[in-house]
Homo-oligomer: A and B are copies of this chain.
Amino acid sequence: MTCGMILFPGMTQLDVTGPYEVLSRVPQMQVLLMGVDRQPVRTEHGMILMPDCSFAEAPKLDVLVVPGGTGINDALLDRRYLTFVEVAGSGAKWVTSVCTGALLLAASGLLGGFRATTHWRSIEFLGAFGAAPVADERVVVDRNRVTAAGASAGIDLALLLAAKICGEAAAQQIQLAIEYDPSPLFASGHPRTAPTEKVAAAKRLLVPAIERRVESVRTAAQRLNRQREMDRLLCM
Protein backbone atom coordinates (compact mmCIF):
# COMPACT_ATOMS: atom_id res chain seq x y z
CA MET A 1 0.00 0.00 0.00
CA THR A 2 1.11 3.55 -0.67
CA CYS A 3 0.43 6.58 1.51
CA GLY A 4 1.08 10.01 0.01
CA MET A 5 1.54 13.08 2.23
CA ILE A 6 1.31 16.50 0.58
CA LEU A 7 4.00 19.12 1.31
CA PHE A 8 3.59 22.87 0.80
CA PRO A 9 5.51 25.95 1.97
CA GLY A 10 4.40 27.21 5.39
CA MET A 11 2.75 23.91 6.38
CA THR A 12 2.89 22.68 9.99
CA GLN A 13 5.52 19.93 9.93
CA LEU A 14 3.96 17.93 12.79
CA ASP A 15 0.84 17.49 10.62
CA VAL A 16 2.82 15.04 8.49
CA THR A 17 5.65 13.95 10.78
CA GLY A 18 3.19 12.78 13.48
CA PRO A 19 1.16 10.51 11.15
CA TYR A 20 4.37 9.46 9.35
CA GLU A 21 5.80 7.98 12.56
CA VAL A 22 2.72 5.76 12.88
CA LEU A 23 1.90 4.94 9.24
CA SER A 24 5.51 4.15 8.24
CA ARG A 25 5.35 1.34 10.82
CA VAL A 26 2.28 -0.26 9.22
CA PRO A 27 3.43 -3.54 7.59
CA GLN A 28 3.71 -3.29 3.78
CA MET A 29 3.00 0.46 3.83
CA GLN A 30 5.21 2.80 1.81
CA VAL A 31 4.89 6.44 2.91
CA LEU A 32 5.91 9.13 0.40
CA LEU A 33 6.22 12.88 0.90
CA MET A 34 4.99 14.66 -2.23
CA GLY A 35 5.66 18.18 -3.47
CA VAL A 36 4.70 20.17 -6.56
CA ASP A 37 8.27 19.37 -7.56
CA ARG A 38 11.28 17.78 -5.87
CA GLN A 39 12.54 21.02 -4.33
CA PRO A 40 12.98 21.15 -0.52
CA VAL A 41 9.92 22.60 1.25
CA ARG A 42 10.30 25.12 4.07
CA THR A 43 7.68 24.46 6.73
CA GLU A 44 6.01 27.06 9.00
CA HIS A 45 8.79 27.44 11.57
CA GLY A 46 11.80 26.73 9.35
CA MET A 47 12.29 22.96 9.23
CA ILE A 48 13.01 21.72 5.69
CA LEU A 49 11.20 18.62 4.41
CA MET A 50 12.29 16.77 1.25
CA PRO A 51 9.69 15.41 -1.19
CA ASP A 52 10.24 11.77 -2.16
CA CYS A 53 8.50 12.52 -5.44
CA SER A 54 6.71 15.29 -7.31
CA PHE A 55 2.95 15.31 -7.94
CA ALA A 56 3.69 14.32 -11.55
CA GLU A 57 5.70 11.30 -10.38
CA ALA A 58 3.20 10.18 -7.73
CA PRO A 59 1.96 6.59 -7.90
CA LYS A 60 -1.69 5.72 -7.28
CA LEU A 61 -2.38 6.30 -3.58
CA ASP A 62 -4.19 4.11 -1.09
CA VAL A 63 -4.02 6.80 1.59
CA LEU A 64 -3.84 10.57 1.06
CA VAL A 65 -2.79 12.82 3.97
CA VAL A 66 -3.22 16.59 3.62
CA PRO A 67 -1.56 18.76 6.30
CA GLY A 68 -2.42 22.31 7.34
CA GLY A 69 -0.59 25.35 8.70
CA THR A 70 -0.48 29.06 7.91
CA GLY A 71 0.68 28.21 4.37
CA ILE A 72 -2.79 26.79 3.71
CA ASN A 73 -3.96 30.33 2.87
CA ASP A 74 -1.87 30.24 -0.31
CA ALA A 75 -2.35 26.54 -1.07
CA LEU A 76 -6.15 27.06 -1.13
CA LEU A 77 -5.72 29.37 -4.14
CA ASP A 78 -3.09 27.29 -5.94
CA ARG A 79 -4.51 25.15 -8.74
CA ARG A 80 -1.52 22.74 -8.54
CA TYR A 81 -2.50 21.63 -5.01
CA LEU A 82 -6.26 21.67 -5.65
CA THR A 83 -5.95 19.53 -8.78
CA PHE A 84 -3.53 17.00 -7.30
CA VAL A 85 -5.56 16.61 -4.10
CA GLU A 86 -8.78 16.16 -6.10
CA VAL A 87 -7.30 13.57 -8.47
CA ALA A 88 -5.20 11.65 -5.90
CA GLY A 89 -8.02 11.81 -3.33
CA SER A 90 -10.73 10.63 -5.76
CA GLY A 91 -8.81 7.40 -6.36
CA ALA A 92 -7.61 6.80 -2.79
CA LYS A 93 -9.09 4.31 -0.36
CA TRP A 94 -8.65 6.72 2.58
CA VAL A 95 -8.80 10.51 2.16
CA THR A 96 -7.47 12.24 5.25
CA SER A 97 -6.39 15.60 6.62
CA VAL A 98 -4.75 17.01 9.72
CA CYS A 99 -5.42 20.50 11.13
CA THR A 100 -6.39 23.04 8.44
CA GLY A 101 -5.52 20.49 5.75
CA ALA A 102 -9.27 19.85 5.87
CA LEU A 103 -9.78 23.21 4.15
CA LEU A 104 -7.62 22.09 1.20
CA LEU A 105 -9.51 18.79 1.00
CA ALA A 106 -12.75 20.77 1.10
CA ALA A 107 -11.60 23.34 -1.49
CA SER A 108 -10.68 20.42 -3.76
CA GLY A 109 -14.32 19.34 -3.61
CA LEU A 110 -13.70 16.22 -1.52
CA LEU A 111 -15.67 17.13 1.64
CA GLY A 112 -19.02 18.25 0.16
CA GLY A 113 -21.71 16.49 2.21
CA PHE A 114 -19.18 14.93 4.59
CA ARG A 115 -18.85 15.45 8.35
CA ALA A 116 -15.38 16.84 9.03
CA THR A 117 -13.20 18.61 11.57
CA THR A 118 -10.15 20.87 11.53
CA HIS A 119 -8.11 23.10 13.89
CA TRP A 120 -10.50 24.64 16.48
CA ARG A 121 -9.89 28.16 15.15
CA SER A 122 -10.86 27.23 11.57
CA ILE A 123 -13.97 25.11 12.13
CA GLU A 124 -16.15 28.01 10.93
CA PHE A 125 -14.64 27.79 7.41
CA LEU A 126 -15.68 24.22 6.58
CA GLY A 127 -19.28 25.13 5.85
CA ALA A 128 -18.27 27.40 2.95
CA PHE A 129 -17.27 24.29 0.99
CA GLY A 130 -20.39 22.29 1.81
CA ALA A 131 -18.82 20.17 4.57
CA ALA A 132 -20.67 19.54 7.85
CA PRO A 133 -18.34 20.91 10.58
CA VAL A 134 -17.84 18.86 13.76
CA ALA A 135 -16.33 20.91 16.58
CA ASP A 136 -16.19 18.41 19.42
CA GLU A 137 -14.50 15.31 17.99
CA ARG A 138 -10.72 14.95 17.67
CA VAL A 139 -10.89 12.60 14.69
CA VAL A 140 -13.98 12.47 12.47
CA VAL A 141 -14.66 9.47 10.21
CA ASP A 142 -17.35 9.78 7.54
CA ARG A 143 -17.22 6.92 5.04
CA ASN A 144 -13.62 7.09 3.69
CA ARG A 145 -12.95 10.68 4.75
CA VAL A 146 -10.99 10.96 8.01
CA THR A 147 -10.23 14.44 9.31
CA ALA A 148 -8.30 15.39 12.44
CA ALA A 149 -8.30 18.46 14.68
CA GLY A 150 -5.16 20.64 15.11
CA ALA A 151 -1.58 19.44 14.47
CA SER A 152 -0.98 16.87 17.23
CA ALA A 153 -4.33 15.18 16.42
CA GLY A 154 -2.61 13.65 13.39
CA ILE A 155 -1.10 10.99 15.66
CA ASP A 156 -4.56 9.97 16.88
CA LEU A 157 -5.83 9.94 13.29
CA ALA A 158 -2.93 7.77 12.14
CA LEU A 159 -3.48 5.18 14.88
CA LEU A 160 -7.14 4.95 13.90
CA LEU A 161 -6.15 4.49 10.25
CA ALA A 162 -3.52 1.90 11.19
CA ALA A 163 -6.20 -0.04 13.08
CA LYS A 164 -8.54 0.07 10.06
CA ILE A 165 -5.79 -0.94 7.62
CA CYS A 166 -3.84 -3.61 9.52
CA GLY A 167 -6.04 -4.42 12.49
CA GLU A 168 -6.22 -3.37 16.13
CA ALA A 169 -3.44 -5.70 17.29
CA ALA A 170 -0.87 -4.21 14.89
CA ALA A 171 -2.01 -0.66 15.72
CA GLN A 172 -1.62 -1.36 19.44
CA GLN A 173 1.93 -2.60 18.83
CA ILE A 174 2.75 0.59 16.94
CA GLN A 175 1.34 2.65 19.82
CA LEU A 176 3.57 0.72 22.22
CA ALA A 177 6.63 1.09 19.96
CA ILE A 178 6.30 4.90 19.95
CA GLU A 179 5.28 4.85 23.63
CA TYR A 180 2.18 6.91 22.88
CA ASP A 181 0.96 7.25 26.45
CA PRO A 182 0.55 11.04 26.44
CA SER A 183 0.61 13.07 29.57
CA PRO A 184 0.12 16.76 28.69
CA LEU A 185 1.52 19.18 31.24
CA PHE A 186 -1.60 21.34 31.23
CA ALA A 187 -5.28 20.87 30.37
CA SER A 188 -4.74 23.53 27.76
CA GLY A 189 -5.01 21.57 24.52
CA HIS A 190 -8.52 22.67 23.53
CA PRO A 191 -10.61 25.85 24.01
CA ARG A 192 -13.11 23.73 25.98
CA THR A 193 -10.50 23.06 28.69
CA ALA A 194 -7.95 25.89 28.35
CA PRO A 195 -8.22 28.93 30.65
CA THR A 196 -10.44 31.58 29.00
CA GLU A 197 -7.67 34.20 28.89
CA LYS A 198 -5.34 31.71 27.14
CA VAL A 199 -7.96 31.11 24.46
CA ALA A 200 -8.34 34.86 23.98
CA ALA A 201 -4.56 35.31 23.78
CA ALA A 202 -4.19 32.45 21.28
CA LYS A 203 -6.97 33.96 19.16
CA ARG A 204 -5.20 37.33 19.19
CA LEU A 205 -1.97 35.68 17.96
CA LEU A 206 -3.89 34.02 15.14
CA VAL A 207 -5.63 37.21 13.93
CA PRO A 208 -3.33 37.95 10.94
CA ALA A 209 -3.46 34.36 9.63
CA ILE A 210 -7.23 34.17 10.11
CA GLU A 211 -7.86 37.52 8.40
CA ARG A 212 -6.02 36.19 5.34
CA ARG A 213 -7.84 32.85 5.67
CA VAL A 214 -11.23 34.59 5.42
CA GLU A 215 -10.17 35.98 2.03
CA SER A 216 -8.63 32.71 0.79
CA VAL A 217 -11.65 30.65 1.85
CA ARG A 218 -14.07 33.10 0.21
CA THR A 219 -12.19 33.00 -3.11
CA ALA A 220 -11.61 29.23 -2.99
CA ALA A 221 -15.28 28.58 -2.16
CA GLN A 222 -16.46 30.82 -5.04
CA ARG A 223 -14.19 28.92 -7.44
CA LEU A 224 -15.38 25.54 -6.18
CA ASN A 225 -19.03 26.58 -6.51
CA ARG A 226 -18.42 27.92 -10.03
CA GLN A 227 -16.78 24.64 -10.98
CA ARG A 228 -19.63 22.61 -9.48
CA GLU A 229 -22.13 24.76 -11.37
CA MET A 230 -20.18 24.19 -14.58
CA ASP A 231 -20.00 20.42 -13.97
CA ARG A 232 -23.77 20.45 -13.35
CA LEU A 233 -24.46 22.31 -16.60
CA LEU A 234 -22.18 19.99 -18.57
CA CYS A 235 -24.02 16.96 -17.18
CA MET A 236 -27.50 18.28 -18.05
When the two chains form their complex, are residues B190 and A172 in contact, meaning their CB atoms are under 8 A apart?
A: no
Please, what's the 1-or-0 string for A152-175, where 1 marks a CB less than 8 Å from any CB in chain B? 110110011001000011011101
Given A50-B40, A181-B193, the answer on whether A176 and B188 have CB atoms closer than 8 Å is yes
- A1 interface residue (CB < 8 Å to B): no
Given A185-B171, A201-B173, the answer on whether A45 and B31 have CB atoms closer than 8 Å is yes
A168: nearest chain-B partner, CB-CB: B186
Which residues on the B side are within 8 Å of A173 (C-beta)?
Answer: 188, 198, 201-202, 205
Interface-central residue, A25, A163, A188, A202, by most chain B CB under 10 Å: A188
A48: nearest chain-B partner, CB-CB: B50
- A191 interface residue (CB < 8 Å to B): yes
Which residues on the B side are within 8 Å of A183 (C-beta)?
Answer: 138-139, 156
Please, what's the 1-or-0 string for A181-225, where 1 marks a CB less than 8 Å from any CB in chain B? 111111011110111001101100110000000000000000000
- A20 interface residue (CB < 8 Å to B): yes
Please, what's the 1-or-0 string for A42-63, where 1 marks a CB less than 8 Å from any CB in chain B? 0001111110100000000000
- Report the separation of the CA atoms of residues A173 and B4 in the bound assembly, to the nearest whole angstrom: 31
- A104 interface residue (CB < 8 Å to B): no
Given A18-B14, A50-B48, A150-B177, the answer on whether A188 and B172 have CB atoms closer than 8 Å is yes
Question: CB within 8 A of A198: which of B14, B18, B169?
Answer: B169
- A151 interface residue (CB < 8 Å to B): yes
- A234 interface residue (CB < 8 Å to B): no
